[in-house]
């Protein structure tokens, strides 16, 4: 559906985006994650044809965004980070202007506007001047504009910025709902959001992709090691020794006594091997009861920090 | 293109700038009308005089056209709304064209208001309708050419004030072109080249009651040249700045 090949964008000597390659399947919700200034907006601006790339190409449905730009634009709805609103217009006037720009026929115009206002819950402010709306409403008018004409592809740049928690949940649910029959690229620097909404995440830093996978897979594959926290009863030195004998264990640390006669351990293992069963049977064999065991996954947040900070250091 | 045109015209009449423009334009033209007609007695062919008044009114365009055109493209960039236009299935030429025509339409509204002067005049004296009509065609074309320069100036900056000042400077240069030509000791080819920019000189024929198709073509090419430059400026910025 969307095919991004060797995409680079330079502003003079500054490289905003470097050699991006990725594709998005039909019906997929892709999360674009990265710190501020990582190149998310630049990439989205290129995909939507607002700015041309310095190198590389973007194809949507096999059509190049530069060569077939008018055709491509019909299939894309874009909600930029700062909603492109004409503040002297009312919500309804604005949407009807946007609909005309998108070449929606006169017949479908009002139906289409009603529909997007309903979806983004802005029907009650339809007669108000955009200038007088709160930030949350403005944001939603921006999203409503992107939904006009039911484009196949939706590009949403930080769609929940400036919304209150209730609205954020509403917008997330809306995005999930839309994801059923749209292809969506969504950018954010808020991790739980990407985690909650997206099927796949691309982490971008300093204009480069540093990771790309499903959110849960990311935490597995990117963690250097897996940590298991366990509370085991029995003599500490013997237990430690037994654990160390298990294949894949890198290190065992004790972190203290929570309950009487038992000890809390942190076991670091290689990411490719799951030792939990082995651990259980070994302990049972030696009559060291395992009271608690928890596989500690790196959160997306930790991965994100890890990836983006090391990148930064390398860059310097 | 028509969506852009309609929005532009609607926003013009909803914002103070529209009324400021009309106000200044009508005031200045009324001032010139009064000053040039009143001292005359009825027997000195006021019709020809009125065409001269229109000629003087081109001077007002120097000030009012930048007011009219300054926001056309600057405002879109400043508010980030150009992103909506540029990512919609509308070509850049369509955007520039729509905005240009909207400004021309607004100018035309101002011009139509001034038509009240020859009507007033007709109560007191015989007027030469032909001269007045060609005079209006002339001033309309001069205005349209100025607006093309103004929209070009507006494409150069995000800041409306900068756009207005740039537009004013461009028009001023055009205004002093004739004097400039005399100053610069140019070859014949150079002179000819500069002649191509003598927008105001072309007006003279219209004010004499002549409808010169060559001059019309001149104005149209002049307008297209500046609209093309505007288009190129926007294109170029997409590639270099984003």
Instruction: Give residue A93's pLDDT.
Output: 92
Cβ contact B85–A101 (<8 Å): yes
- pTM here? 0.80
Structural domain for B217, as ranges: 2-240
Residue A83 Cα, gap to closest chain B Cα (Å): 8
Q: Quote the percentage of chain A above a pLDDT of 70.
A: 91
Look at A17 and B52; give whichever has higher pLDDT. Answer: A17
Per-residue pLDDT tens digits for A145-189: 999 988 999 999 988 887 888 888 888 888 888 888 899 999 987
* Option in A12, A49, A84 nearest B80 (CB): A84
| In chain A, domain spans | 2-221, 224-296
Answer for the pair B103, B69: CB distance below 8 angstroms, yes or no: yes
Instruction: Give residue A147's pLDDT.
Output: 93
Q: Is the pLDDT of residue A225 over 80?
A: no
Dihedral (Cα; A60, A65, A67, A70), 10-degree rounding = 100
> Which of A91-100, A168-177, A275-284 is the most confident on average?
A91-100
Thinking of the domain A224-296, which architecture would CATH place it in?
Answer: 2-Layer Sandwich (3.30)
Residue labelled with tokens 């200044």: B24
Q: Is the pLDDT of residue A316 over 70?
A: no
- B16 shares contact with chain A (CB less than 8 Å): no
Chain B residues in contact with A84 by the CB 8 A cut-off are 79-84
Average pLDDT over residues A96-119: 91
Spell out the residues 6+ positions from residue B129 whose beta carbon is closer than 8 angstroms to its own.
Answer: none
Instruction: Give residue A297's pLDDT.
Output: 65
Answer for the pair A200, A28: CB distance below 8 angstroms, yes or no: yes
- B214 shares contact with chain A (CB less than 8 Å): no
Mutant choice from A51, A106, A161 vs B, greatest count of B C-beta within 10 A: A51
Report how many domains make up chain B: 1
Spell out the residues 6+ positions from residue B216 whose beta carbon is closer than 8 angstroms to its own.
Answer: B137, B141
Q: Which of A35, A50, A33, A111 is nearest to B90 (CA)?
A: A50
Residue B29 Cα, gap to closest chain A Cα (Å): 30
Instruction: Give residue A14's pLDDT.
Output: 85
* Least confident residue range of A32-41, A270-279, A281-290, B47-56: B47-56
- Distance from chain centroid for Cα A261: 45
Instruction: Give residue B183's pLDDT.
Output: 75
* Least confident residue range of A132-136, A137-141, A254-258: A254-258
Cβ contact A52–B238 (<8 Å): yes
- B86 shares contact with chain A (CB less than 8 Å): yes
Cβ contact B3–A74 (<8 Å): no
CB pairs under 8 A between A and B: 73
Task: Write the DSSP string, A182-228.
Answer: SEEEEEES-HHHHHHH-SEEEEEETTEEEEEE-HHHHHHHHSSSEEE
Answer for the pair B39, B194: CB distance below 8 angstroms, yes or no: no
Instruction: Give residue A312's pLDDT.
Output: 44
* Least confident residue range of A206-215, A231-240, B218-227: A206-215
Cβ contact A101–B239 (<8 Å): no
- B236 shares contact with chain A (CB less than 8 Å): no
Q: Is the pLDDT of residue A201 over 90?
A: no
Per-residue pLDDT tens digits for B92-115: 999 999 999 999 999 999 999 988
Task: Write the DSSP string, B30-47.
Answer: HHHHHHHHTTS-TTS-HH
Mutant choice from B9, B16, B76, B88 vs A, greatest count of A C-beta within 10 A: B88
Answer for the pair A112, A148: CB distance below 8 angstroms, yes or no: yes
Answer for the pair B175, B183: CB distance below 8 angstroms, yes or no: no
Q: Between A106-119 and A135-147, two packed helices, what is the crossing angle to 10 degrees?
A: 140
A2-221: which CATH number, 3.20.20.10, 3.40.50.300, 2.60.40.420, 3.90.1490.10? 3.40.50.300
């Amino acid at each position: 559906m969307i095919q991004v090949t060797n995409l680079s964008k330079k502003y003079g000597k500054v490289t905003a985006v470097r050699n991006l390659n990725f594709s998005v399947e039909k019906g997929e919700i892709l999360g674009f994650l990265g710190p501020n200034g990582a190149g998310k907006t630049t990439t989205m601006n290129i995909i939507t044809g607002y700015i041309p790339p310095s190198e590389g190409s973007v194809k949507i449905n096999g059509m190049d965004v530069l060569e077939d730009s008018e055709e491509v634009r019909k299939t894309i709805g874009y909600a930029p980070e700062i909603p492109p609103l004409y503040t002297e217009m009312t919500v309804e006037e604005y949407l009807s202007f946007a609909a005309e720009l998108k070449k929606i026929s006169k017949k479908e115009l009002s139906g289409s506007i009603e529909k997007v206002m309903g979806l983004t819950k802005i029907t009650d402010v339809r007669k108000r001047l955009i200038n007088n709306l709160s930030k949350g409403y403005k944001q939603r008018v921006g999203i409503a504009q992107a939904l006009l004409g039911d484009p196949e592809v939706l590009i949403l740049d930080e769609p929940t910025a400036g919304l209150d928690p209730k609205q954020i949940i509403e917008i997330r649910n809306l995005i999930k709902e839309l994801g059923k029959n749209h292809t969506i690229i969504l950018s954010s620097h808020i991790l739980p959001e990407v985690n909650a909404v997206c099927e796949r995440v691309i982490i971008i830093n300093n204009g480069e992709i540093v990771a790309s996978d499903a959110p849960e897979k990311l935490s597995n594959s990117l963690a250097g090691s897996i940590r298991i926290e366990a509370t085991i009863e029995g003599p500490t030195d013997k237990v430690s020794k037994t654990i160390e004998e298990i294949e894949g264990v890198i290190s065992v640390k004790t972190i203290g006594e929570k309950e009487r006669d038992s000890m809390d351990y942190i076991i670091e293992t290689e990411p490719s091997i799951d030792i939990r069963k082995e651990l259980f049977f070994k302990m049972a064999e030696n009559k060291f009861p395992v009271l608690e065991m928890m596989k500690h996954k790196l959160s997306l947040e930790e991965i994100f920090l890890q990836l983006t900070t090391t990148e930064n250091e390398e860059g310097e | 293109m028509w969506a852009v045109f309609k929005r532009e015209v609607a926003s013009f009449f909803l914002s103070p700038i529209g009324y400021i423009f009309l106000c200044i334009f009508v005031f200045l033209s009324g001032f010139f009308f009064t000053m040039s007609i009143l001292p005359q007695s009825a027997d000195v062919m006021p019709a020809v005089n009125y065409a001269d008044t229109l000629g003087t009114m081109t001077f007002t365009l120097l000030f009012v056209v930048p007011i009219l055109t300054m926001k056309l493209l600057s405002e879109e960039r400043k508010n980030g709304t150009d992103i909506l236009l540029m990512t919609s299935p509308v070509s850049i030429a369509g955007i520039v064209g729509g905005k240009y025509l909207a400004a021309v339409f607004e100018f035309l509204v101002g011009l139509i208001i001034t038509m009240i002067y020859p009507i007033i005049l007709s109560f007191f004296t015989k007027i030469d309708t032909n001269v007045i009509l060609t005079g209006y065609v002339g001033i309309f074309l001069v205005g349209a050419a100025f607006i093309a320069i103004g929209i070009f100036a507006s494409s150069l900056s995000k800041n409306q004030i900068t756009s207005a000042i740039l537009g004013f400077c461009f028009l001023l240069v055009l205004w002093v072109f004739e004097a400039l030509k005399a100053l610069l000791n140019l070859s014949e080819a150079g002179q000819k080249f500069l002649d191509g920019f003598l927008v105001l000189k072309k007006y003279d024929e219209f004010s004499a009651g002549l409808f010169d198709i060559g001059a019309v073509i001149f104005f149209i090419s002049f307008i297209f040249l500046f609209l093309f430059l505007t288009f190129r400026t926007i294109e170029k910025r997409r590639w270099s700045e984003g």
